[in-house]
Amino acid sequence: MADGAFAEYVAHEEFRAGLAAGRVRVVVNPKLARRYVAQRLMLLVIVMPVIGAGIALALTGSTWAGAGLVAFGVLLNRVVMWQSPWILLQMALHDPRVYEHVTHEWLLEVLRHPG
């Protein structure tokens, strides 16, 4: 925050309506968003078996299929990490509990536009 004061709390319904109308501004902490989205989507649980299966396929002779699975797993991880601020915003828009959590933990800051 520019003035050093705490922002006034914005309720979830006001956040949803205000974001669509342009009355609120959202600031996402990208580093914390990456960690939260990866944990919330259980990304490691999805990506590691895909990469492991790719390595197993490559070692058993299906080199291209294995390389494709490894590349898919790595690419999936990179895309989710790169898009994590947008994913976090969508999660907060659709679930009031997620909104409450991410605003209280300063992953997402919602500010009213002056005027």
Q: pLDDT tens-digit profile of 31-75? A: 999 999 999 999 999 999 999 999 999 999 999 999 999 999 999
Q: What is the pTM of this model?
A: 0.83
Q: List own/partner pairs for 7-13 with CB under 8 A and 24 or more apart.
A: 7/109, 7/110, 7/111, 8/112, 9/103, 10/103, 10/110, 10/111, 10/112, 12/96, 12/99, 12/100
